[in-house]
């Protein structure tokens, strides 16, 4: 009985933690003025945020806002890096939005290739810049 109780408690904490993370990502995206959605990729789900014409990982925005860490996607974008290695490039199917090429970093952060290549000076990224305080 004790094992069943502990297992039930652990499962409840896991469900609450996953729900809190998803809710946090949704909230961070909404605060940035973006549209949140999830896609399945490599047997996992990735939360994405479309801010204007720019696509970034919703977890990246959440971590940036919580000051937990600076995700590599946003770090490179802010520093003006406009390249993505071939090993990091992925093509994602985003439902109605079609296929999008992204740069997926080792820390799990993600940014679409068009945003990265055009740079923070480009007008297409104005809403993302505003959300990032640039």
- Average pLDDT along the chain: 77
Confidence tier at 22 by pLDDT (50, 70, 90): low
- Chain CA centroid to CA 118, Å: 19
Give the burial string for 43-69 (b: 16+ CB within 10 Å, else e).
eeebbbbbbbbbbbbbbbbbbbeeeee
Model confidence pLDDT, tens digit, residues 33-79: 888 888 877 667 778 899 999 989 888 887 776 666 788 898 899 89
Confidence tier at 118 by pLDDT (50, 70, 90): very high
- Which bin fits 43, alpha (ψ -120 to 50), beta or left (φ > 0)? left
User: Model-level pTM?
Assistant: 0.74
| Domain boundaries of the chain, sorted by first residue | 2-132
Question: Which residue from 122, 45, 133, 17 is spatially nearest to 80, judged by alpha carbons?
Answer: 122
């Amino acid at each position: 009985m004790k094992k069943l109780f502990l297992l039930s408690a652990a499962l409840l904490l896991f469900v609450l933690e996953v729900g809190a993370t998803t809710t946090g990502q949704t909230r961070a995206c909404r605060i940035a003025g973006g549209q949140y959605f999830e896609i399945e990729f490599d047997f996992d789900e990735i939360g994405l945020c479309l801010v204007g014409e720019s696509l970034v990982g919703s977890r990246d925005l959440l971590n940036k806002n919580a000051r937990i860490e600076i995700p590599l996607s946003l770090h490179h974008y802010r520093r003006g890096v406009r390249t993505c290695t071939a090993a990091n490039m992925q093509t994602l199917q985003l439902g109605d939005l079609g296929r999008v090429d992204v740069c997926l970093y080792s820390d799990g952060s993600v940014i679409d290739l068009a945003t990265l290549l055009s740079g923070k000076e480009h007008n297409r990224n104005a809403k993302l810049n505003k959300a990032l305080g640039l």
